[in-house]
Structure 1
């Protein structure tokens, strides 16, 4: 498994598209939308808008790691890497964990940089830093867990990109990452509660403002952990089909 982790690190460092999706694009979007929606506001109202955008776009853009995950697994499949690994004693779950480990580190780095950007440029509050770190950790394992599931089920990179955009952008709209949930129709508000983005965003906003309660934090962790387990189970169930598609 260690060899898989090191190989993934080398490939990730060489992936320029990964830098664009994880850092460049979210920073550009954050700056643009803060300038638009905070224009004319001051004091607590402006801070509330900034906190919502920084936390919301952080949650939205971590999902784009799925594109790199799908690309990596498909390349392993096409170059014969998966077929060679299957002939060794490395268990499927260890192979998946090795790949998973690398992308968790990438997402953590992405989140830290985006949060530091929000703190340095916009002075966002970090009222409950320990709670924020806990939420970031479970957000990381959740999104990469779903990335594993997607990588095991799609057959082409284009399909992976399309589904990632649906999950990231569609989930952002329905979860209130673009528009406050309170301003959405009641039926959409009900739908949002079934999505992990909603729970992560609401909890992060409260933790940054320093108002999240332990009960709400615990519920959010359970939701994110539930989606993580779901993703890993789907990945394990999809591995045999993924192996059949492997060349070599």
Structure 2
């Protein structure tokens, strides 16, 4: 597992396209939307908008890591790497963990950079940093767990890209990442509670304000971890079928 982990980390750190999707584009769009939505707003209202946009766009953009996860699994499958590794003593569980954990690290780094940008440039409050830390790890676990499942479910890279956009953008729309959840119709507010983006965004905002109660924190943590564990279990079930498609 260690060799798979190291190889995957090296590939991710050398991928400039990944840097663009994970850091550069989110920062550009965050600045753009903050400029648009805070134009003419009073100081208090402006700060509220910023405190919603920073975590909102962070939650939205971490889901795009799924594209990279789908790409690496499809390439390994089609180039014969998956089949070769399957012929070694490496277990399927360790193979999946070795591929999965590097992306968790990358998402954690992404969250740190985007939150750090919000703190330095817009002076976003981080009143409950310990809770923010654990929520960030839980979000990284959730996103990459779902990405792992999708990487083994889809048959082509284009299908993975399309589904990722649906999950990232559709989830952002329904979870109140673009529009405050209070302004959405009641039926959509109910739908939002079934999505991991909603729980992550609401908890991030409350933790930044310093108003996140421990009961709500653990509820959000449990929901996020459940999504991640579900993704990993689905990937384990799907792996034998994925292996049958691999080139020898």
TM-score by length of 1: 0.99
Cα displacement (A) at 1:182: 0.6
Secondary structure of 1:126's counterpart equals coil
Partner of 2:100: 100
Cα displacement (A) at 1:233: 0.7
CA distance in 1, matches of 2:226, 2:16: 32
Once the two structures are superposed, what CA deviation does each residue of 1:11-44 show, in whole Å capped at 9, x if it has no partner? 1123222111101111011001000111111222
Once the two structures are superposed, what CA deviation does each residue of 1:77-96 show, in whole Å capped at 9, x if it has no partner? 11111001111111101000
Secondary structure of 2:27's counterpart equals helix
Once the two structures are superposed, what CA deviation does each residue of 1:62-103 show, in whole Å capped at 9, x if it has no partner? 000000000000111111110011111111010000011110
CA distance in 2, matches of 1:155, 1:177: 30
CA distance in 1, matches of 2:200, 2:9: 27
1:110-125 mapped onto 2 (5 Å cutoff): 110-125=110-125
Secondary structure of 2:218's counterpart equals helix
Partner of 2:142: 142
Partner of 2:17: 17
Cα displacement (A) at 1:211: 0.5
Tell me the C-alpha RMSD between the 2 structures: 0.7
1:72-87 mapped onto 2 (5 Å cutoff): 72-87=72-87
Structure 1, gaps ≥5 residues long = none
Do structure 1's residue 6 and structure 2's residue 6 form an aligned pair?
Answer: yes
CA distance in 2, matches of 1:245, 1:188: 39
Cα displacement (A) at 1:203: 0.4
- Aligned residues, how many? 248
CA distance in 2, matches of 1:10, 1:53: 31
1:130-209 mapped onto 2 (5 Å cutoff): 130-209=130-209
Cα displacement (A) at 1:157: 0.7
CA distance in 2, matches of 1:75, 1:13: 18
Partner of 2:215: 215
Once the two structures are superposed, what CA deviation does each residue of 1:120-166 show, in whole Å capped at 9, x if it has no partner? 11000001000110110100111000000000100111000000000
CA distance in 2, matches of 1:106, 1:132: 17
Partner of 1:32: 32
CA distance in 2, matches of 1:35, 1:141: 31
Secondary structure of 2:125's counterpart equals coil
Structure 2, gaps ≥5 residues long = none
Do structure 1's residue 53 and structure 2's residue 27 form an aligned pair?
Answer: no
Cα displacement (A) at 1:241: 1.0
CA distance in 1, matches of 2:86, 2:183: 51
- Structure 1 runs (4+) deviating above 4 angstroms are none
CA distance in 2, matches of 1:163, 1:176: 20
* Greater CA drift, 40-49 or 66-75: 40-49
